[in-house]
Amino acid sequence: MELQILNDLIIVLALSIAVLFVCSQIGVPVIIGFIFTGILAGPQVLGLVKGLSEVEILAEIGVILLLFTIGVEFSFANLLQIRKSVLVAGPLQVAATCLAGLGLALQMDKSLGEAIFIGFLLSLSSTAVVLKLFQERAEIDSPHGRTSLGMLIFQDIIIVPMMLLTPLLAGQSKAWGADLLLLGGKSLVIILLLIVSAKFIVPQVLYQIARTRSRELFLLVIVVICFAVAGLTASAGLSLALGAFLAGLIISETEYSHQALGYILPFRDVFSSFFFISIGMLLDVDFLLQHPGLIVLLTLGVLTLKSLISAITAMVIRFPLRTAILIGLALSQVGEFSFILSKVGINRGIFSGDTYQLFLDVTILTMVGTPLVMALAPKTADLLLRLPWPSRLKSGSYLVKQAGEPEERDHLIIIGYGINGRNLARAAKVGGVPYVIIEMNPETVKAERARGEPIFFGDATQEEILQVANMKEARIVVVAINDPSATRRITAITRQLNSSVHIIVRTRYIQEVQALYELGANEVVPEEFETSLEIFALVLKKYLVPRAQIEKLVTEVRANCYKVLRGFSDDMAAFTNLKHYLHDYEITTVRLGEKSPLAGKSLAQIDLRKKYGITVLAMRRQAQMLANPEPDMELAGNDLLIIMASPRNISGHGYLFKNPDEEE
């Protein structure tokens, strides 16, 4: 019996390897592969796994680690930026979905209590699935990614009051009001503790741990913080996932967040796979085969209904139509916390057997379909935008540009006001370059306008917004957003509007480079390649390659669209001459000791180059810098010498520059 869990793990992991290999060959997302693995290994098909409860425990750990890493990559500052999504869009989406579910359930002759409970279940989306896909697509920081995250955070919070209200719906509780007040008090205390921990306690603890330079100790402390905060929130009646997210936020406020993330990521990927596998195990295949038409119809209905409600909610908080569509499609499924809530409903007698099985099959199918829905979301949004919508609906209800503002000419247009956009705007301001900024976060637009920035709100994938920025008179357009699909569309529309404008595009994806050039971009800056170029330039500098030659090589790589780095070209001629520069030499500085054997002697007397293989390039005496000093220059104590030599000669003859009592 002790080996049962080990046998189950071997079976599940081996089966998942086979399934994922097939999925990779046919282009199916990894999440679907894991869910299909669960369906095959589960009791309804092959029945390979016996310890279902142990797999569910591993799945719970996976959700905790997934939300923890999301929190580490986020921050309290980012959380404040999406407060409107959490406090406004979240409640609106949950309330509207609950009402829609209530209405549909009443039409199906369900009792009022059961109908309300069904509304609860439908209102929750899958935090794990959606955020996992956003991470894989690098869209967490995009407008639709941030807004979806805010709405999901509210859903993770609201599940607790829903669980408290469930006994009331079953007619078994009358003290729900007191329970809610108690929960609110506990939540407030926990939030205060977390704020104090993030500000004072955790940074000091991690500093002391980091000083030990023990990788194992650091990892253990990070894991303990993650699970301790998750356990604390769970003990207060909140969800484990919410606690894990808050634990990640605490770590994100420290300088050790990147190190923590690097340690946790491998564990997250392994354990989160068990979550998706466990979802597949829940699917009742027999019930699905008995009622295929009804289940498919309900699945499509749920996806459509939730997409509409979430999209309308996003437009209520002034997001453009395209972003709203992406948000709606991302939140179209029913989530994993609905499973937890449904079990409470069964225990309280609200759910019957067939209704529960119908709910399970529909929910799992919506989750299985989410990767495909999100993959098709950009094309779906572009297709829907071709319809004759009002221009104000396309651009969002926020005031895009104040009346009476002068039109810029020969200016720079910055699309996206993240880190890159902000830095570029600062540089443009210092350089006296006229510029305008297009941003899709209304809170950012409002705050920056108050500071005097020439920024306005709008979806730059819409031609009308680009025209408001006077695209036809612009000299340069810089696209610095985190949405690959939107980046391609903006590039194409910009080139159509202005054939002579210089388009510079930033992308995270290597595969996007060629497509962006074909769409009309003049320069594409892939983050990974630019980092490689910077490192390469530093390496060449260390090998004493002349600066002009380094700049020439970097320019050639960029001019050839990074083909050398992308592996599309075997033309490495530009690099063949580097062997003439790659000598085993270093340039370093040494401070001459007061009693050094060299003090008081001239360079000609010492003859460092001939005797020791050391060349003095320059020297600093007090505030005076002397380049290429003369042979008769006499050295003195405290002179700073800039020397060139091989590493062996520098280390072997270092005693020459020291005082005798410093010699080892």
**195 contacts 253 by C-beta, under 8 angstroms:** no
Nearest alpha-carbon partner for 303 in 221, 366, 213 = 366
**Residue 16, φ and ψ in degrees, nearest 5:** -65, -35
Give the pLDDT confidence score for residue 151 in this predicted structure.
Answer: 93
- Cα-based angle 20, 24, 25 (whole degrees, multiple of 5): 120
DSSP symbols for 209-232:
HHHTT-HHHHHHHHHHHHHHHHHH
User: Is the pLDDT score of 401 beyond 80?
Assistant: no
**166 contacts 341 by C-beta, under 8 angstroms:** yes
Per-residue pLDDT, averaged over 622-642, amounts to: 83
User: Is the pLDDT score of 510 beyond 60?
Assistant: yes
Q: Which are the contacts of 183, defined by CB distance < 8 A and separation ≥ 6?
A: 160, 161, 164, 236, 237, 238
| Whole-number average pLDDT of the chain | 81
Per-residue pLDDT, averaged over 475-493, amounts to: 88
Sheet holding 640-645, edge to edge: 586-591, 640-645, 615-621, 624-627
Task: Give me the percent of the chain exceeding a pLDDT of 90.
Answer: 13
Q: Positive or negative CA dihedral for 444, 449, 453, 459?
A: positive
Residue 626 has a CB neighbour count (10 Å cut-off) of 14
Give the pLDDT confidence score for residue 404 in this predicted structure.
Answer: 43
CA–CA distance, 581 with 103 (Å, rounded to integer): 77
Nearest alpha-carbon partner for 554 in 542, 562, 543, 545 = 562
Nearest alpha-carbon partner for 495 in 470, 528, 519, 460 = 519
CA–CA distance, 149 with 444 (Å, rounded to integer): 17
Give the pLDDT confidence score for residue 177 in this predicted structure.
Answer: 64
pLDDT, tens only, 317-366 = 888 888 899 999 999 999 878 887 887 788 777 877 778 888 888 988 99
Give the pLDDT confidence score for residue 537 in this predicted structure.
Answer: 74
DSSP symbols for 405-448:
PPPP-S-EEEE--SHHHHHHHHHHHHHT--EEEEES-HHHHHHH
Q: Give a three-class secondary structure readout of 4-65.
A: HHHHHHHHHHHHHHHHHHHHHHHCCCHHHHHHHHHHHHCCCCCCCCCCHHHHHHHHHHHHHH
Q: The whole model's pTM is what? A: 0.68
Q: Predicted confidence band at 579 (pLDDT cuts at 50, 70, 90)?
A: very low
Dig out the tokens for 14 from the structure.
Answer: 């081996």
- Which domains does the chain show, CATH number per domain? 4-384 (1.20.1530.20), 404-521 (3.40.50.720), 529-580 (no CATH), 586-662 (3.30.70.1450)
Per-residue pLDDT, averaged over 242-260, amounts to: 82
User: Is the pLDDT score of 181 beyond 80?
Assistant: no
CA–CA distance, 151 with 314 (Å, rounded to integer): 10
CA–CA distance, 126 with 223 (Å, rounded to integer): 24
Q: What letters, b where the CB count within 10 A reaches 16 and e where it falls short, cover 320-350?
A: bbbbbbbbbbbbbbbbbbbbebbebbeebeb
Identify which has the larger pLDDT, 526 or 123.
123
Give the pLDDT confidence score for residue 605 in this predicted structure.
Answer: 86
Q: Predicted confidence band at 403 (pLDDT cuts at 50, 70, 90)?
A: very low
pLDDT, tens only, 430-481 = 888 899 999 887 778 888 888 888 888 888 888 878 888 888 889 999 998 8
pLDDT, tens only, 38-67 = 888 877 778 787 767 777 777 778 778 877
The 8-class DSSP code of residue 618 comes to: E
User: Is the pLDDT score of 399 beyond 70?
Assistant: no
